[in-house]
Amino acid sequence: MKIYTKTGDKGTTALFGGTRVPKHHIRIDSYGTVDELNSYIGLIRDQEIKQLYKDILIVIQDKLFTVGAILATDPEKAILKNGKERLNINKISDEDIVLLEQEMDIMNQDLPPMTHFVLPGGHQTVSFCHIARTVCRRAERLASALNDLEPFEANALTYLNRLSDYLFVLARKLSHDLQADEVKWIPEKK
């Protein structure tokens, strides 16, 4: 299979199901941002962090491919003529979301309570985590806008929401593990 197809040379691309849309379509922007997020999570996974975090991040990357596939599927062609779903993969389950919540609860046990917003930074690995968190929020905003236009499975949107929370807690936990400074944002008073 060749990587280049030349079918997108005029600014369109195909959704799963064959429908061609402009490359700037919100659906493309949504799953493209999920793909960008997945790359940043790979960058976090490549850091010197505990194997447990790496293992969870691999699971997350797998789930992000699922979210991307859901977003890349033309809703009008999601069901085949024989009544089966075109996208023949496991969807995002309630258990996938609960896993993120459980992991956050475990990490939070070792962290001091939050009393202020935290400035991103303190260590390169932590910064990568904050970048992934903000890309995740952008993916969630785009997916939310898409969902208003063409609804898709609710758990995909919920997963992105919970994942951004997970990445924030992971950044705090990595700051703790790496003994990096966690700088509180304390606004100046007039």
Show me where the domains of the chain are located.
22-79+90-111+119-179
Q: 130-142 pLDDT, tens per residue?
A: 999 999 999 999 9
CATH homologous superfamily for the domain 22-79+90-111+119-179: Cobalamin adenosyltransferase-like (1.20.1200.10)
Give the Cα separation of 8 and 12 in Å (integer): 5
Q: 81-112 pLDDT, tens per residue?
A: 777 777 777 899 999 999 999 999 999 999 98
pTM check: above 0.85: yes
Nearest CA among 53, 100, 56, 77 for reference residue 150: 77
**Whether 31 contacts 21, CB under 8 Å:** no
